[in-house]
Amino acid sequence: MVDKHDVIVVGAGPGGCAAAYYLAKRGYDVVLLEKAKVPGQRNVTGGVLYGSYIPGYGLIDLIPEFESEAPLERRVVRYRLAMISSPSYPGEYRYRSVSPDARSYRVLEITEGSLLDRFVHRGISTGHDYTVIRAKFDRWFSRKVEEVGGIVVTATAVEDLVFEGDRVIGVRTDREELYADLVIDASGVTSKLVIKAGLRGPLQPWQVYHGVKQVYQLGEEEINRRFGLKSGEGVAIAVMGDFLHGAIGGGFIYTNRDTISVGIVVSIDSMIDSVRKEVDKVGKPLDILEEMVSHPYVSRYLEGAKLVEYSAHNIPKGHKTMLEKPLKSGFLVVGDALGSFVKIGGLIDGMRRAIATGIMAAQTYIYARKHHDFSEKTLAVYLDLLEPIYRDIRRSARNSLLSESRLLYGPGYRLILRLLGRSETTVINNQAVERDAIQRIQERTGLLVYEEDKIYSHIKVDYERANRDPYKLWVPACPVNCYTISVPGKGIFASYRDLYRYNLEMLRRSKSLKGNGSLASEAIRETWRDVARAEVRFDHVACVSCGTCWVIGHPAIDFNPERGGHGVKFRYS
């Protein structure tokens, strides 16, 4: 007789741990499978964990003592949205004797309680909100599962579902098959199980946000001083401005105990559109992040801080990805795999919804168990439990009509800044000599810990198909150097902006432009001609498993979970 568990949960993030903890605490036989060697090593968040949510479905309901037990960084006591313009030489000083490094910009800070706040934060605070580092938090959460009798198995990649007819009866890992009455998919935005179950196809660029983050070490007391905080207090700041170059999204700053998380989250479709339209300005996601970090409004917080980690992650747009049918006989979906994610004003909010949907899935199992039936008909009670989540998603969809509109990200915020913002003047340091993207990213990935799989590559590239793509936009969108293009006679490039600059310099040297048009416009045309004829190169060693290449490059690119716990191991994300 084949051994069978009551429930198999795939993925030891907040949603998976919540489902497993809820069930194991009530005595059910639960196995929690995690692809990383230690839960949290692969996970990235901005990130604020909102401890309270729908009554009965918050972390504080699941584990009332979490505030005294969990490895929390700081309790968030302030939220802020900052709109900033690009620094420019102050026109009012044009005819005065001022430093050539003087720059002025406009800024509008929208804080909780202000008149505009209801359009931004809308009472997001719950009183139990904390910045967290997932490498620490998920490890703690998975240990809580073990404490109540759950089985946690790490370094195990779930690669497929096991079916009996139309019903899911288990999973196939990279080592064996496991069986259960119910499989709960909490494997995140890169889940292939939802595809295997026939619940949706591969995600498209318009359905996904892309996040890139840098973590800076500074020291607890210095963070308190710079942000005006008391010990244990934290702040969450959302940022929007010209540094986005038309990409829809924004930046963020979160204070941890002795580090600061700084990053961007942008819609992938708008990001690659920015590369297409402004290849002379944007070549990689890192370019957007670096421009934000160098802005005097942001750089003042980071002066003298040490960069300790670089990471990237994709995030589902809830209003574009939330599954209408999140179940199949023997199978439920929770968290990011479900699409239970919203953008609240300038802030993103997914972890508490992952926890809530994990609890709801656990309750659905208990209901189905009482009825001795794990068919779709019985599991459909999950849809009733999810109704508050669906309401959130529908509200988010309505809000996105303005909050993610071209009107707001174009003339809208500039008009708001002109009318309501204040002017700031500062002196900037001379900019360092620019290096190409390959060098800058290698510097950052050199901070990371990798365990290379010398046998198996979790990403498969159909090179013939990939090389036929005239734009190959997953190459510049990749946050690291997994992908490059080889341009005959010119070299290897990870950034199309770098290729543009190479072409511009060659044109300047040759002065060979004939007829109408500028050197810059001809360099742009030459860049896209080069991209069309270039050959794609791929190296999985530096991969951070964000899945961006799969979102943009499918079907030329296929993405799977790493086996045996190999891959990147984040420490501060």
Please give the average per-residue pLDDT across 421-447, as a whole number: 86
pTM: 0.95
- Indicate whether 95 pLDDT > 50: no
Do residues 130 and 145 lie in contact, with contact meaning Cβ atoms separated by under 8 Å?
A: no
- Indicate whether 572 pLDDT > 50: yes
Q: Of the candidates 524, 522, 535, which has an alpha carbon nearest to the alpha carbon of residue 491? A: 535
Q: Of the candidates 362, 361, 312, 16, which has an alpha carbon nearest to the alpha carbon of residue 158? A: 16
User: Which residue type, as a one-letter code, is found at position 389?
Assistant: I
User: Distance between terminal CA atoms of the chain?
Assistant: 43
pLDDT band at 45 (very low <50, low <70, confident <90, very high): confident
pLDDT (0 to 100) of residue 517: 61
Kindly give the pairing relationship between strand 30-33 and strand 102-111. unpaired
pLDDT (0 to 100) of residue 118: 58
DSSP letters spanning 442-458: HHHHTTSEEE--SS--S
Sequence-ordered list of residues with C-beta below 8 angstroms from that of 47, at least 6 positions apart, any chain: 131, 132, 134, 254, 261, 351
User: 144: number of CA atoms within 13 Å, CB side?
Assistant: 27
Q: Is the dihedral of CA 47, 48, 52, 54 positive or negative?
A: negative
Do residues 309 and 570 lie in contact, with contact meaning Cβ atoms separated by under 8 Å?
A: yes
- Indicate whether 1 pLDDT > 60: no
User: 469: number of CA atoms within 13 Å, CB side?
Assistant: 19
Sequence-ordered list of residues with C-beta below 8 angstroms from that of 36, at least 6 positions apart, any chain: 12, 42, 154, 155, 565, 567, 569
Rounded-to-integer distance, Cα 190 and Cα 544, Å? 12
- Indicate whether 516 pLDDT > 90: no
Q: Of the candidates 305, 206, 194, 311, which has an alpha carbon nearest to the alpha carbon of residue 260? A: 305
- Give φ, ψ of 433 to 5 degrees: -60, 130
Mean model confidence pLDDT for the chain: 92
pLDDT (0 to 100) of residue 121: 58
569 DSSP β-pair partners? 449
Sequence-ordered list of residues with C-beta below 8 angstroms from that of 356, at least 6 positions apart, any chain: 18, 53, 54, 57, 58, 340, 388, 389
The SS3 assignment for 191 reads coil
pLDDT in tens, 340-386: 998 765 567 899 999 999 999 999 999 999 999 999 999 999 999 99
**Quick one: tokens of 476?**
């510049």
pLDDT (0 to 100) of residue 72: 98
Q: Of the candidates 480, 118, 134, 152, which has an alpha carbon nearest to the alpha carbon of residue 336? A: 134
Please give the average per-residue pLDDT across 482-488, as a whole number: 97
Rounded-to-integer distance, Cα 336 and Cα 191, Å? 9
Please give the average per-residue pLDDT across 317-337, as a whole number: 97
The enclosing H or E element of 312 equals strand 306-316
Sequence-ordered list of residues with C-beta below 8 angstroms from that of 531, at least 6 positions apart, any chain: 470, 471, 472, 485, 487, 496, 499
Please give the average per-residue pLDDT across 552-558, as a whole number: 97
- Indicate whether 563 pLDDT > 80: yes
pLDDT (0 to 100) of residue 431: 60
pLDDT (0 to 100) of residue 98: 54
Kindly give the pairing relationship between strand 158-164 and strand 167-173. antiparallel
CA separation (Å) from 391 to 341, 364, 395, 396, 473? 12, 19, 6, 9, 35
Please give the average per-residue pLDDT across 304-316, as a whole number: 97
pLDDT band at 510 (very low <50, low <70, confident <90, very high): confident
pLDDT in tens, 161-217: 999 999 999 999 999 999 999 999 999 999 999 999 999 999 999 999 999 999 999
- Give φ, ψ of 277 to 5 degrees: -90, -30
The SS3 assignment for 386 reads coil
Q: Of the candidates 556, 358, 386, which has an alpha carbon nearest to the alpha carbon of residue 474? A: 556
Burial of 510: CB neighbours in 10 Å, binned 0-12, 13-18, 19+: exposed
pLDDT in tens, 391-400: 999 988 988 8
